Every structure is written in C-alpha cells, then in structure tokens.
Chains A and B, each alone.
Chain A
Amino acid sequence: MSRELFKFKGGVHPPEHKAESTSRPIHAAPLPKKLVIPLRQHIGNPAKPVVEVGERVLKGQMIAAADGYISTAVHASSSGTVVAIDLQAVPHISGLPDLCITIETDGRDEWVAHAPLDYQAMEPSQLRMQLRDLGLAGLGGAVFPSAVKLDPGASHVCSTLIINGGECEPWITCDDMLMRHHADEILQGVAIMRHLLGSTDILVGIEDNKPEALDSMRSAAAKLDFAVEVVKVPARYPGGGAKQMIETLTGKQVPSGKLSTDIGIQVFNVGTSYALARAIHHGEPLISRLVTVTGHVLRPQNFEVLIGTPMHTLITLAGDRDGTTGVLMGGPMMGVPVPNLDVPVIKATNCILVKSKELFPPLPKALPCIRCTRCADACPAELQPQELFRFAKAGDFGRAQEYHLFDCIECGCCSYVCPSHIPLVDFYRYAKGEIWAREKDKRAADLARERHEFRQFRQEREKKEKAEKLAAKAQAKRAELAAAPAAEGAAVSDADAKKALIAAALARAQAKKSDAAPKNVDQLTPEQLHQIEEIEARRTKIRELARKPLESEEKKP
C-alpha cells in the first residue's frame, strides 16, 4: 500500500465496457471438428512441421518444432489426424494466408504422455529449452517466445520482475477473469520466473477497475513463501503497456531504443505466468488460452479456447446478432480487423470484438491536421504524433525516425483524441513497414555487391592462374631445349635459346605441313612428275605477271 506510484505522460480514458463480459463464468469452448493451427503465431522464426499429412496426433503432441533461438514450438490442441499442411487464412490484417497444420479431431481428446517438470533441479538453460519446446510465448499481445525473455543474460539476474495485470484496453477481460479464478496458479508461474531470473523485487500491477482481481491476487500472494507486492494502479489507457507499467510502478523510463532488461526489469503478462505454471506443474504445452468474446453478441463472456478453433464457433457460442459490421482481434484501440471468421484463435488472440454500427459508429471523414497538438498531449511515448504523421505521409522516413518513430507503441491514443479523425497509427505502421522493407533491400544490395565483387576477384584470379600456367609451360620447354646444347658444353645465351625455340617450332610446323601434304603424288611415273613440274612453272609465271602491274602501280604516286 505504501508504494509510491508514478505517473506516465499522456494517456486517455476511453469508456471501459468491461462489465459486459465479466458477469458470466469462464466456459470451456467445445472441441471443434477441425483445428487449424498456424506455424507463425509468435515473434521470430515460424515453427517447422515435424508431422506428416495422414499422421495421427495426440493432444499436446508437438507438431512443429522451434526453429532457432527466437522461436517456439506448436502443438496439437486435441487428438486427431493431420489432414493438411498448407496455406490457410490466418488472423492477420493483410488477409494473406500462411502455413498451417489442419487437424481433424477424433473427439477422444486423448493426451500425449506428459509429466510435471522438477524445475528447481534443472539446469536453467535446459529448463528454457523445455519451455521453448512447450510452446510458451507472451500472451499479452506481443507473443514473444518466453524462453528468451526468461534468460537473464550476461548479468545473471534481473532484479525486478513485474507481472502485468493492467489490461487497460477497453472491452477485454480475459486477464481480469484469469486473476479472479486462477490467482494461485499465476503466482506459481511467478515463482518459476523468479527462479530463472533471480529477481528480488516482484510486483504485480493491476488497474483499480478490477477490485475482484486485486482481492484474489492479494489473498493468493499472502500464502506465498516469498514476497510479492500486488499494487493497485490507476486505470488509464495505456497503463497496461509494458513501458507504462514499469514507469507507474518504479518511476523508471526505458531509454529510447533499449529494452527493459537493460535497466534490470522484466515484464510478463498474467496469462503467460499461468501458462508457465501449467507447463511446469502439469507438463502441458500451450494449447489453449482465455479469450474474451464481446461487443455485439448476445452473451459476452470469456471462453477457455483450444488454439486453432475457428473464430465463428466462438461468436456463435456467444450468440451472434444481426447488424454485425466487422470483427476485431484485440480491443478497439489496438485490435486488427480479421479478414474472415474462419480464421483460427491463435496464441495472440486475447479478444474477439464484434462490431456494430451502434457500438462503433463509422469514423467521420478525416480532415487535415490543424496542428492542435492534442495528440502530443495524449501520447504516452512522449512523441510528436503530428510531426510523425507529416513525415510518414510525405514519405520522409528519415525524419520520422529522427522523431523516434520506433518508440511509438501504436497505442492509438493520438488517433483517439485527434479532432480531425486522422487514422494516425495507420501512417506509423505504414512508415515502419517501409523502413523495414528498405533495410531489407539494403541488406540484399550489400549481399549482391559482395557477391559481385567476389566474382570479379575470382575471374581475375582465374585469369592470372591461367597466364601463370602458360608461362610455366613455356619455361619448361625452354629448359628442355637448353639442356641439349649444354650437354655439348656450349654456353647458350637467352637469345639463342629463343632462336632454338622458334626453330623447333618452325620445324614442328614444317613437319606438320609435310604430314598434311597430299599423299597421292608418291607413286607417279617420271612423265607425270614432269607434267606437274611444267604446270607449276606456268603457275609461277602467271603469279609473277600478276604481281608486276601491282608493283608498278605502287611506284606511281
């Protein structure tokens, strides 16, 4: 209670709309007939399939393995048969398909053999590998592989561990419900994190609009044998952002372009902590999560959903209504529209928000920026959104970067307050995408330059080698010829050697020529030979005659 709280700059107070989905208990969503499980659900390299089409898989069996350090595995959410490994629609704003493993479930929901892990007895690096193979990734939204975040690095400790129960975005309540009903397990996860990171200062930040969650977490924390401080923080969007939560609780700011671990702080979402506890104490991989289904539905509520469940089944469960104008994955501030409702729930899906005209009236037409700087007042990252907008719109990405574009957390506060209704965040996303693409092009160009230069070097070298080989051959020949007169005791000068070389070459040419001479003159009668001689004489005469006029002409001028 005594902890001094700090205030981050900016932020907004959008209507919360949380009560809609917290009045009903958590329901387990039924097992769907088909699970479509994307291989790219986390940040980093997509997982690599380790099963084949036609193979029977069990619930919790790894179907795709982590590929590299920043990656994590993907598992079958239920038992059944792999029916396809191909491109399927995924919840991504682009609407582009991505590689997925489709499993036809058999309804038996049969588990693969799994057992709890004795994490205290394990080597930390080995434990992290296990977590990677259990598919753990941050469930707060960024889906960063947890095993990487649980590596304290060279410093060997990360003194402050923050568990983020902020959940500041309107409509979403899955973290709230999780804290209300699974506080003990969340804190079991915290114990594992503490073990891996060596943290001494453990804080749980919960916004003051979730009193039930605060109570439940506080009573669970009181039972622990280590100190966990559950802190009530004022509700203000985006107070649940990692950087904002750090500032509120510790007063520290993460410097631009740095990570929170650089100042000795690591932040995890409560959902991730819960998943970690399930993984260690039950050996269960990450195959399900809590999802809030809310907005324009009959019974807004939270579901425990298997990863890969199509979104439309959840909307049907919650009671779909007429007049739906669209569906967002995530909340109204940061959510992305889903291309269609066949797309599956993935590790990042915290909320399915169904829109209607009444709840989300279409934005009025955007007007030019009037430079009122309301956006700058609202920006929690202390940026100048109006300038970023100007540069992004004009394609002046260099200036946008100078204005710290990459510190923008895409929270949407600026768009929310903009009186001109400019979709500012879309411009920042566009600018970031362009800058990344340019960097990629630059790398490709550098590779091409390097390869081209190497090729030129190689060609040069080959030419030189060829010339050297020829020179060596000539040298050998010369030595060979020089050896003969040397035997006779005469000193042979270089010029002589050259002469001899030329003479030898001439002799060879002569020999070749005579070899090539017509052989049909060998057995002729003297008469015939005489005739040939005569003909040759005539030819010489004609040649001479022909040459004469030419010579006289040459003399003329």
Chain B
Amino acid sequence: MKTKCIQKDLIFYLDNELSVEMRTAVEKHLEECADCRSFLAFLQEGIQIIEKEKNPEVTPFFYTRLSARLEEKPVYQTQSQWVRLAQPAFFSLVLLAGIYGGLKLGSNASSPKVYQQATNSAQMLNDFATEPIESFLLDEL
C-alpha cells in the first residue's frame, strides 16, 4: 500500500534536516511515488539556481568608479531624497483631490460618507508604503 505523500518535507530532505526516521520514511515513499519524485526533481532544480547565480564576477572598474564617486559632494543625496518624498506626497494629494471631487460631483452622497471614503483611501496609501499585503499575511504563517 502506498504511504501518504511527503511533498511538504522535501525541502528539508534536500537540506538534510530531517530526523533519521523521517528521512527513511521519505526515501521509502519516494521509491513508490513517481509524483513526489518528480516534484523533488523540480524543487531541487529550482533551488540549485542559487548555486549557479551566486558570487558573480564584479566588474573590473568597481573601485575606480567608487573612487570617483567619493569626490562627489553628498548634497545630491538630500536633493533626491526630497524628490522621493515629494513625489508620492504630490500624487497622494492629486488622488485624494480626485476622489473628493468625484464624490462631490456624485452629489447625493451625504457628507459623513464622503469623509469616511477619503480616510479609507488615505489608509490604503499608508499601508502600501510600508509592506505589501501578501508579505503581511505570510508573516502570520
């Protein structure tokens, strides 16, 4: 009789992190289950990409370029930082103005509702700036 599929243990099997008993059970299952064997190969090839791409050659002029950058005045950074902050702020204002204007035009909305919708969109913008929602959810796992 075929044992239960062990796909959820395979990454730990590859990294040699299973107990002896679990390792034996995984190997036994792999002998009899082609689907798990096939996923193991898929997983292994995926993870092995790391070995192929890591430690790339660094361009030979890395230090020369760096040395030139050290002559620059650090002022540029404060400027670009200002632009970075101003741009989202500007677009947020445009967006909120748009939403507010749209709701105003939609006339029959009562004023408390308008206020609530505007706060909701501001909330959404703030959330986006910090963490994408999917990583927030994954964190709970």
- Chain A partners chain B: no
Q: State the A residues within 8 Å of B (CB).
A: none
